[in-house]
């Protein structure tokens, strides 16, 4: 099993990206990423750099902490501009790395040095670039023509290489360790926080880079789908539904796995609900084959939930791609017509949430192959 993506693969990504950039009539790319547990995918895909610091307020000379940007000319050496903090030199594949606590200042200098100060430059990450940073760049370089170019990089990221798939398998195995530990703590009288702590500790010991969160929602809160904070001091009672959703990463590649259990014995209605969700999941996973439109998986799963009497409370958001970020393209919603292709990695998660009573969702990570879908999440699916 690989420990890191080979450097040769990064070099191939960079060269492919240069070619795609030139085909769009651009002189280069400006690629932004945020801190390691947030939106770092585009930047990490090309550089193997994960900004280590959380994003912070722009103030004084500290303007851009938690962000980094890659200046990638079509012709010429790339420059990685980081936020002034330490970075992993042995991992980063870009030779020239510049640190500046004022990122706009550093990026302006890099663009000028590469002859792009007045060029046509594609911006990858226009959905995450801070307005303060964007304004500073365009004011300092009025002749710079920034054009949205997210797809130059993101379209490449949709299909995972064999090395990426291997790391995603490894990440899923770490999630399994965390979930099993958390599931083992679910019993009447235990708090949500206690379950959460057990799962996070086990996953970190198993090799996680970090755990973004392990959501533990019990009783009526299991019907929320998501809730802040991730877990509370609420005591779990006998017969309550408990949903667990663990999200984190291993070597930069993410995991996102959800399970639902019952504290103590499940009653008949709970077993019926969990069985219906499990059957919907099984059908959606089986349908995750090359050429299938994403929306078909959602309609198939929710059709089964409708037949079981849960249609009014079934989720229409039923999953997403996963890789260097937790939520990537393609989305699994009824309106998405994107067709699946071998190498895509999906989180498939049908669910039912009944307000005031409880909810259930089960999530599998699946690699689309030429043949049958490959489920890489080993955590058992059961009622607990």
Question: If DSSP codes are grouped into helix, strand and coil, which group holds residue 104?
Answer: helix
Which residue from 150, 149, 133, 131 is spatially nearest to 141, judged by alpha carbons?
Answer: 133
Average confidence (pLDDT) over 65-74: 97
Q: In this model, does residue 68 exceed pLDDT 70?
A: yes
Residues pairing with 213 in the sheet: 247
Q: Which pLDDT tens digit goes with each residue over 93-129?
A: 999 999 999 999 999 999 999 999 999 999 999 999 9
What average pLDDT does this structure show over 161-172? 98
Asked if residue 58 has pLDDT above 60, the reply is: yes
Look at residue 299 in the predicted model and tell me its pLDDT.
98
Q: Is the pLDDT of residue 1 over 80?
A: no
Using CA atoms, how far apart are residues 250 and 4, in angstroms rounded to an integer? Answer: 10
For 297-308, the DSSP string reads: HHHHHHHHHHHT
∠ CA(321), CA(213), CA(101), 5° rounding? Answer: 85
Core vs surface per residue 149-186: b (16+ CB within 10 A) or e: bbebbbebbbbbeebbbbbbbbbbbbbbbbbbbbbebb
Residue 2 pLDDT level (bands cut at 50, 70, 90): low
pTM of the shown model? 0.96
207-224 tens-digit pLDDT:
999 999 999 999 999 998
Alpha carbons 36 and 325: distance in angstroms, whole number: 9
Spell out the domain ranges in the chain: 7-157, 162-375
Count of C-beta atoms within a 10 Å radius of residue 274:
23
**Could you tell me if 312 and 354 are in contact, meaning their C-beta atoms sit under 8 angstroms apart?**
no
367-383: average pLDDT: 92
CATH number for the segment(s) 7-157? 3.40.350.10
β-strand pairing of 28-34 with 374-375: unpaired
CATH class label, 162-375: alpha beta
Closest C-alpha among 328, 377, 374 to residue 44: 328
Q: What is the DSSP letter of 333?
A: S
CA distance 207 to 170: 9
In this prediction, residue 84 carries a pLDDT of 85
Three-state SS at 224: coil
Rounded average pLDDT over 308-313? 96
Percentage of the chain modeled with pLDDT above 70: 99
Helices (H), the chain: 7-23, 41-47, 103-113, 131-140, 150-157, 162-185, 192-205, 268-286, 294-307
pLDDT per residue as tens digits for the range 91-102: 999 999 999 999
DSSP assignment string, 164-216: HHHHHHHHHHHHHHHHHHHHHH-STT-BHHHHHHHHHHHHHHTT-SEEEEEEE
pLDDT for res 53: 87
CA 190 to the chain's CA centroid: 30
CB atoms within 10 A of CB 60: 8
For residue 384, the model assigns a pLDDT of 41
Phi, psi of 352, rounded to the nearest 5 degrees: -130, 130
| CA-angle at 68, arms to 2 and 245, nearest 5° | 55
Residue 50 to residue 41: CA distance in whole angstroms: 9
Average pLDDT over residues 32-55: 95
């Amino acid at each position: 099993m690989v420990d890191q993506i080979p450097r040769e693969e990064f070099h191939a990504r960079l060269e492919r990206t240069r070619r795609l950039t030139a085909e769009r009539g651009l002189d280069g790319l400006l690629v932004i990423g945020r801190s390691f547990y947030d939106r770092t995918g585009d930047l990490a895909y090309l550089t193997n750099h994960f900004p280590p610091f959380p994003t912070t307020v722009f103030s004084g000379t500290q303007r851009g902490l938690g962000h980094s940007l890659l200046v990638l000319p079509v012709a010429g050496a790339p420059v990685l501009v980081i936020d002034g903090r330490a970075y992993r030199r042995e991992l980063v594949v870009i030779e020239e790395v510049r640190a500046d606590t004022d990122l706009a200042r550093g990026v302006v200098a890099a663009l000028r040095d590469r002859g792009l100060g007045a060029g046509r430059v594609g911006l990858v990450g226009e959905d995450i670039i801070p307005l303060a940073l964007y304004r500073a760049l365009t004011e300092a370089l009025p002749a710079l023509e920034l054009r949205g170019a997210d797809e130059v990089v993101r379209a490449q990221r949709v299909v995972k290489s064999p090395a990426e798939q291997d790391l995603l398998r490894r990440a899923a195995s770490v999630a399994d360790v965390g979930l099993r530990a958390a599931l083992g703590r679910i019993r009447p009288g235990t708090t949500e926080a206690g379950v959460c702590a057990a799962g996070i500790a086990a996953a970190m010991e198993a090799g996680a880079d970090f755990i973004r969160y392990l959501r533990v929602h019990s009783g009526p809160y299991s019907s929320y789908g998501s809730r802040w904070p991730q877990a509370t001091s609420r005591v779990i009672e006998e017969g309550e539904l408990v949903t667990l959703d663990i999200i984190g990463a291993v070597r930069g590649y993410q995991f996102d796995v959800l399970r639902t259990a019952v504290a103590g014995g499940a009653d008949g209605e709970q077993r019926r609900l969990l069985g219906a969700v499990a059957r919907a999941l099984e059908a959606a996973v089986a349908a995750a084959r090359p050429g299938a439109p994403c929306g078909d998986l959602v309609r198939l799963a929710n059709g089964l939930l409708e037949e079981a009497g849960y249609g009014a409370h079934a989720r229409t958001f039923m999953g997403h791609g996963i890789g260097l970020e937790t939520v990537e393209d393609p989305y699994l919603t009824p309106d998405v017509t994107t067709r699946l292709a071998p190498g895509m990695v999906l989180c498939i998660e049908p669910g039912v949430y009944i307000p005031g009573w409880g909810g259930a969702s089960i999530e599998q990570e699946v690699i689309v192959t030429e043949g049958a879908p490959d489920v890489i999440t080993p955590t058992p699916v059961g009622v607990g």
